Amino acid sequence: MADAVLESLRAIGLYAAAMEPHMTAAPPERPNQIWGFAPVSAPDARVLVLGSMPGVASLRQARYYAHPRNTFWPIAGAVLGFDPALDYPARLAALQAARVALWDVLHACERPGSLDADIRRDTLVPNDFAAFLAAHPAILRICFNGAKAAALYRRHVLPTLPRALDYVDLPSTSPAHAAASFESKLAAWRRALTF
């Protein structure tokens, strides 16, 4: 069944390389080295949603926002009109059909556990946003899923980019950031993703 879904997505141009992890094992001297996923994007994407780096649950499952208490998929489903209980490939296809791309600021870093606060600053390797944005000229807005993603992007990526975009800081969907209610997060995300 999964193979049939992937073939269907490939056939209509919505296959995302993120469904196949491109991580390798960390070398023994760097046991906390982690690598992110490829972007999920259609060529006509208008909005790019950025996290900082996938958490442990996501890395284990090779899926964006895999932690069961992360509210990304329920929020995206409510805003974009799809069932967040769909299987993972179908959720990715729904994002792409809505012209929303998904990625992380970092390509690699060292981080024990899942907390952004534990990312070792001297190990940060940002993703190649210049190439990504050149390949996706319709992207007009970048939405940051949490303060850490915004800070990393503004410090390590923004100075290297040739074109201006609209940037929106959003409340994190991570279970570690439970101070804001689901309803307030949903309202902020709805404003950002529907423009």
The pTM assigned to this predicted structure is: 0.84
Pairwise CA distance, residues 153 & 120, whole Å: 15
Identify the active-site residue in 32, 70, 127, 145: 70
Task: Tell me the pLDDT tens digit for each residue of 70-119.
Answer: 999 999 999 999 999 999 999 999 999 999 999 999 998 888 776 767 67
Task: Tell me the pLDDT tens digit for each residue of 62-72.
Answer: 999 999 999 99
Pairwise CA distance, residues 136 & 37, whole Å: 18
> How much is the CA Rg of the chain, to the nearest whole Å?
16
Our CA angle for 187, 189, 192, nearest 5°, is 110
Chosen CATH of 2-193 out of 3.30.360.10, 3.30.70.260, 3.40.470.10, 3.40.50.720? 3.40.470.10
70 catalytic residue (yes or no): yes
